[in-house]
């Protein structure tokens, strides 16, 4: 019964890391597109609510400035509105503040400040913040590397369906970073990350080869164990993955 899953793991498992690399500068901007009257009206409507102190509206205005949606791209203005929402414990705004400080977008780059905002959002259950926090711990970006804390936060994000967290767990188990090296668990988490990325139309052939190299190191028993662990984890809705 597990053989089809083993074959699927062997044939199509991939690793895909999404989003900006930590510290990567934004891509060179293209000439700004004209702002349509309807988009400008949308911004003004949200701005009215944001000025009245509504955290969701403040976050939305910040997002529009950060993405150039309905207005010209302006990270400094985005930071202003994100901060107002974040100070009201808005988790996605706290994540956004972390990303701004992590990359130096509209603010002076400050990894400690990025870590502080990520932690606030992660403690509220925000999976992207949990994933970014795990990356800070595994890479030692604000202190000595702490694989145990990294695994904790990656797991919390993974059970919420974060593919980046799943891939990160796969890498940690595959390399034995602060945990007992376990190719079966590595492949299991990579496969779950694959499923999510593929569902979003983002397969990656280069990283497919990295997984193929992992599979080549594994015995048939380890492949069978990966399938068993995967079935148990999936059937339990990610509550029994260890």
Q: How far apart are CA 17 and CA 204, in angstroms?
A: 9
pLDDT of residue 18: 32
pLDDT over 90 at 201, yes or no? no
DSSP string covering 71-119: S---HHHHHHHHHHHHTTT-HHHHHHHHHHHHHTSSS---HHHHHHHHH
pLDDT single digits (tens) 138-170: 999 999 999 999 999 999 999 998 989 999 999
pLDDT of residue 25: 35
pLDDT over 80 at 205, yes or no? no
| pTM > 0.85 | no
pLDDT over 80 at 47, yes or no? yes
Q: What is the mean pLDDT of residues 59-74?
A: 93
Instruction: Identify which of 67-76, 110-119, 158-167 has the greatest average pLDDT.
Output: 110-119
Domains identified in the chain and CATH numbers: 125-242 (1.25.40.10)
Q: How far apart are CA 19 and CA 22, in angstroms?
A: 9
**Helices within the chain (DSSP H only):** 3-12, 37-51, 55-67, 75-86, 91-103, 111-123, 127-139, 147-158, 163-175, 183-199, 205-216, 220-235
Q: What is the mean pLDDT of residues 182-198?
A: 89
pLDDT of residue 220: 96
Q: If you average pLDDT over every residue of the chain, what do you get?
A: 84
pLDDT over 70 at 114, yes or no? yes
Residues 6+ apart with CB under 8 A from 129: 91, 94, 95, 98, 117, 118, 119, 120, 121, 122
pLDDT of residue 196: 83
pLDDT over 80 at 171, yes or no? yes
Question: What proportion of the chain, given as a percentage, has pLDDT over 70?
Answer: 83
DSSP 35: P
Q: How far apart are CA 136 and CA 130, in angstroms?
A: 10
More confidently predicted of 70 and 152? 152
Q: What is the mean pLDDT of residues 164-181?
A: 93
Whose structure tokens read 């000439």? 31
pLDDT of residue 17: 33
pLDDT of residue 7: 33
pLDDT over 50 at 185, yes or no? yes
User: Which range among 116-125, 190-199, 222-231 shows the weakest confidence by mean pLDDT?
Assistant: 190-199
Q: What is the mean pLDDT of residues 130-138?
A: 97
More confidently predicted of 14 and 55? 55
Q: What is the mean pLDDT of residues 193-197?
A: 83
Q: What is the mean pLDDT of residues 56-62?
A: 95
More confidently predicted of 175 and 2? 175
């Amino acid at each position: 019964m597990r053989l089809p899953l083993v074959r699927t793991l062997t044939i199509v498992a991939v690793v895909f890391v999404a989003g900006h690399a930590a510290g990567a500068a934004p891509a060179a901007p293209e000439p700004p597109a004209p702002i349509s009257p309807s988009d400008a009206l949308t911004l003004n409507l949200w701005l009215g609510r944001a000025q009245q102190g509504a955290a969701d509206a403040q976050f939305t205005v910040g997002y529009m400035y950060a993405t150039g949606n309905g207005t010209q791209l302006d990270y400094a203005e985005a930071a202003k509105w994100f901060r107002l929402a974040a100070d009201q414990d808005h988790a996605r705004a706290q994540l956004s503040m972390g990303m701004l400080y992590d990359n130096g977008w509209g603010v002076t780059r400050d990894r400690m400040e990025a870590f502080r905002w990520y932690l606030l959002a992660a403690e509220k259950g925000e999976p992207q913040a949990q994933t970014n926090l795990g990356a800070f711990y595994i890479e030692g970006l604000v202190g000595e590397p702490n694989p145990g804390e990294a695994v904790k936060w990656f797991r919390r994000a993974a059970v919420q369906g974060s593919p980046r967290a799943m891939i990160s767990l796969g890498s940690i188990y595959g390399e034995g970073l602060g945990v007992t090296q376990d190719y079966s668990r590595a492949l299991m988490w990579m496969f779950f990350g694959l499923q999510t990325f593929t569902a979003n139309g983002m397969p990656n052939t280069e990283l497919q080869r990295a997984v193929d190299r992992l599979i080549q190191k594994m015995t048939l028993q380890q492949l069978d164990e990966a399938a068993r662990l995967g079935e148990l984890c999936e059937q339990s809705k990610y509550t029994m993955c260890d």
